[in-house]
Structure 1
Amino acid sequence: MANTGDSYVIELKRAHLEWGSYRHTNSRGVVYGEGYIPIPIDVAYSYSIYNSNFRRTGLGYNLFNCRSVDGYYNGVLKAGGSREAGDVYAKQFHGNGDLQALGNWFAHVNANIGDRVEVTWVSPLDIVIRLI
């Protein structure tokens, strides 16, 4: 589990900013405005960030209370996805039940390809995100 003060920084790419429309799969239709924050594999291992394949789910495992420094976003992010079938470590954060939640925040802060996002744990259950 992540500890207070743990953090990481990730550079945004087009796929992160346009998740619902810039994709290399036909698994579902185009949905504009979706976005996600990637989780590097070493961070997922070190901070024990799991997806729903893990034996336990919920706050601190695959769900995290989240707020943005600018105050625009305040909700729950879900850690999801995996690098290979059955892997328990998550590869991204997205809105829990709302895949446009981070896309809306990206639009609000005018995020662009090459910008960086910092994810910081303020407790094992709570994270803060900011565009840097």
Structure 2
Amino acid sequence: MVISTVILSNTLLYDEYMLMFSEFKGADNIPIIGDYFTVELQPVHLNWGTVSTTGSRHRHPDEAYIPVSVADALRLNLLNNGTLFNVSGQGFSVKVTGTQSNYPQYGKNLSSSHNLRLLGAYLKRSLNAQPGDTIRVEWISNMDVEISII
């Protein structure tokens, strides 16, 4: 099968993109075992908790997130709908948050659910993640992810 993409003003057309990948998704149209994405962590991703542009709330240094590109959000159907993905062996879950500008139903971050500090603590202390590290988020079941540094 030959896959071609249509790009208009740097925006991948949603219908074309979903058509290309529809045959690869599971029956529930959520990530399936073996799906993954990788991203290079920037200082802001690991230090989200120390930055407050509005000063509207007290932030904590362990607040962190993993960014999700629009291409990965579309490919993996990562909707900002509250679906929780358990982080393998860690006792907490992540969910897709934020919105992709041209596709508002899709999320742009993975953040820990119910406690924004859990993911940051895991990244910083368990994985010893640093800015510049590449993170891999892989689905090991339809509801469980493994987060690692590659």
TM-score by length of 1: 0.81
Distance 2:128 2:140 in 1: 25
**Structure 1 gaps, min length 5:** none
What is the count of residue pairs matched by the alignment? 120
Give secondary structure in 1 for the equivalent of 2:100: coil
1:63 aligns with 2:51: no
**Structure 1 residue 42 corresponds to structure 2 residue 76:** no
CA shift digits 1:79-121 (9 cap, x unpaired)? 1111339811011111111101111012212211100110001
Structure 1 equivalent of residue 59 of structure 2: 30
In the alignment, the residues of structure 2 paired with residue 85 and residue 23 of structure 1 have an alpha-carbon distance, to the nearest angstrom, of: 25
Higher RCO, 1 or 2 (CA under 8 Å, sep at least 6)? 1
Kindly provide the amino acid, as one letter, of the partner of residue 113 in structure 1: P
CA distance in 1, matches of 2:57, 2:100: 19
> What is residue 97 of structure 1 aligned with on the other side?
114
1:120 lines up with 2:129 in the alignment: no
Higher CA-based Rg: 2
Mapped contact 1:15–1:23 kept (Cα < 8 A):
no
- Root mean square deviation of aligned Cα: 1.9
Q: Does residue 76 in structure 1 map to residue 93 in structure 2?
A: yes
Residues 62-85 of structure 1, C-alpha deviations (whole Å, 9 max, x = no match): 311112xxx5x3321111111339
What is the CA distance between 1:27 and its match in structure 2? 4.1
- What residue in structure 2 maps to residue 106 of structure 1? 123
Which ranges of structure 2 fall in alignment gaps of 5 or more residues?
1-29
The answer (yes or no) to whether the contact 1:49–1:79 under 8 Å persists in 2 is yes
8 A contact 1:2–1:124 mirrored in 2: yes
Alpha carbons of structure 1 residues 25 and 11: separation in structure 2 relative to 1, 3 Å:
farther
CA contact (8 A) 1:14 1:22 kept: no
The structure where strand makes up a greater share of residues is 1
8 Å contact 1:16–1:36 — kept in the other structure? yes
Deviation beyond 3 Å, 4+ runs, structure 1? 23-27
